[in-house]
Structure 1
Amino acid sequence: MEIPFWVWPQSVAWVLVHGYLWWRLVRCAMPPGRWRKAATIALAVMAPTVPGALIAMHTLSPTEGAWITWPGFIWYGLLVYLLLALVAGELLRLVLFVARKIRRRGAEPETPEAVASRRRFLARGVAIGAGAVAVTTVGYGMTQAFSSARLERITIRLRGLADAGEGFRIALVADTHVGPFLGRGNISGIVERVNAEKPDVVVIPGDLIDGTVADLGPAVAPLGDLRARHGVYFSLGNHEYLFDFDNWVEYLRDLGIRTLRNERVELPHFDLAGVNDSSGDNVGDPPDYERALGDRDPDRPVVLLAHQPAQAYEAQKYGVDLQLSGHTHGGQFFPAGLLTSIGQPVMAGHGTVGDTQLYVTRGTGFWGPAIRVGSPPEITLITLAAAR
């Protein structure tokens, strides 16, 4: 398992952020003494946990790395909202400074002691407020991240679908991210809920895991209990390409799940195709739309599994009727969703790219900080209808 290049600059950035946090939360808000020393030591201890968690995700098994991934990623989430709240506090300080200058124009200068006292009072208020915002937001986000996925029901009208295909149901499950935080129990719960709906087909467009078959095979095994009249299909996501993707394809085959690697199968009433994630370019396993879609019967509708919504830009050139994707987690939490949205035509839900319809599920899992804010986990049940 290789450590992705982005881990290093991000790790350095978060360590540097701790310097700013020390200045605002400790140096400016706390008087000299043992409490300031204790807070300084605490920040120094926590600073390497985020880089440690990022590195452990790609070098240690979920069990071996739990001692650092759990505290590291929880602290990661707290850091994000501490930083946002403190930046808002900087703006508040600026507004109050300008207002005070205007109000005291022409008045006697304040004593240094009065100025220092006022600044310390404001710094403590901002620090307490930032802490409250971060703890409350992350606490709420964790309850959402570990909650049962919502069952989203949607009807999509598919051009060219025969009347006999009306009511065909597709269960869409993506981004389970089995790994340090989510395991066998989570997968078993998903399987139970999907089977209860008795779908005609189950599709999983990538990011199933964050680890190797050796580490996570038993956790993923309940997927072998998925039941659908016309089978269970998988396509590769970017995270599979970080962890022995060929072994995962073989393991899923043993569970009765077929991976569509730039290929297509005929189902009743439409074709189901799958292309590799675009990150496969880096390991010699790129998406091949021509191979998956080039020789198909244009009179049959085609539904495409492609992990990233942005792949619809290429899919629409091949007349794909509907693309099913994940990857974005619906943004997962602010401001991470802003970065994820770059280049993606849809973050969550139903949209279009050209003449191609696109549905993006928020997924059932998460990556990095164990939080979801404004983007609850989702299992999707799509009912097909003929276009009128």
Structure 2
Amino acid sequence: HHKLAEVDIYEKLPVPFGLVRFGVAPDHPEVKSYGAEDNRILGIPGENLSGVYTARTLVGWYNGLPENRDLEPDLSSETAVVLGQGNVALDVARILLSPLDLLRKTDITENSLAALARSKVKRVCLIGRRGPLQVAFTIKEMREMINLAGTRPLLDPADFMGLGDALKDAPRPRKRLTELMVKTALEKPNEKEAGRWAAATREWGLTFFRSPLEILPAADGKRAGGIRMAVTRLEGSGETAKAVPTGEVQELESGLILSSIGYRSLPIDPSVPFDPKQGIVPNILGRVEGAPGLYCSGWVKRGPTGVIITTMNDSFGTAQSILEDLQSGTLALSDSKGGFGSLRSVLHSRGIWPTTFTDWEKIDAVEVAKGKAVGKPREKVVDPQEMLQLIGH
């Protein structure tokens, strides 16, 4: 909408596309389109035991994110526990349970593919503090999970009885998602589905009304051996319902515990306003408060909720604010702004030689060629030093 606009994008790594490259599940290439780079912690005893990871770290590992490439997760436990019931939780469960033949055709790293081939995980329990009406995943991901080859869903019919009334006023996406879960839990599967589930060697389930209290150590005291959870009940209803402990406690054996309870943003620089409590840059429609000419978008603008399309729409809103400020003269164009030219000279004066998009195209060509050799869309280079060598830095 503005013919003179030039957009520069800066990335932390020598390769572009951030979360699209490193955060989206490798078997979802159709959605690979300054992020929230810290994890919310559980804040419970035992969180630092071996075998306990954030879902984000595991996603980074199988996607070849340099900082997670040496993770070597312990996949020797038959039961994996995922704390959280959002799309990332389902992504992780799906990758842990997917037949290798499906994964071999994706850009998952060879290293993680080899580890998954040795994996003993046969069961994934996705645990949520609240009930079926409060899950955060979407219908597409749920349907994919129900239809995953070689696996069967374990949904307790008792969790899905009598949801009719509560659904009457629910928005359509929530209604359709709940109806799919109710159908899977309560209706007799058709012959084909029943046969597939009977033959399945792996399974996954949704466990509701449980809140993590403590990760329990295995006999050696170093590794995770299980999890202790508070049984909860709901106060209120719908999206705002709160989980309250009932006083009852339950334990579950597992040596692989993944927390998928969300992300939070970190402050980028002391000069940029930041609200540590909400983990956002204070703003009005994307305009950073107290910093004219500075704008923000995505999770740092409104907190870590929503899917990729939510964030896209969000960026359109911020772009609209910038255009309005240009038209009204609030955003001055008269100042000579050097753009990347001035930044380049600052970097060079510090002895930093940034990689460019042309450099990335060289890395891209190598990755695609490596992938082609093994029948994959690409085989990612996961070592930043190797990336720099490929472009002669």
Give me the TM-score of the superposition, normalised by structure 1. 0.29
Structure with greater proportional helix content: 1
- The structure that has the greater radius of gyration is 1
TM-score (norm 2): 0.29
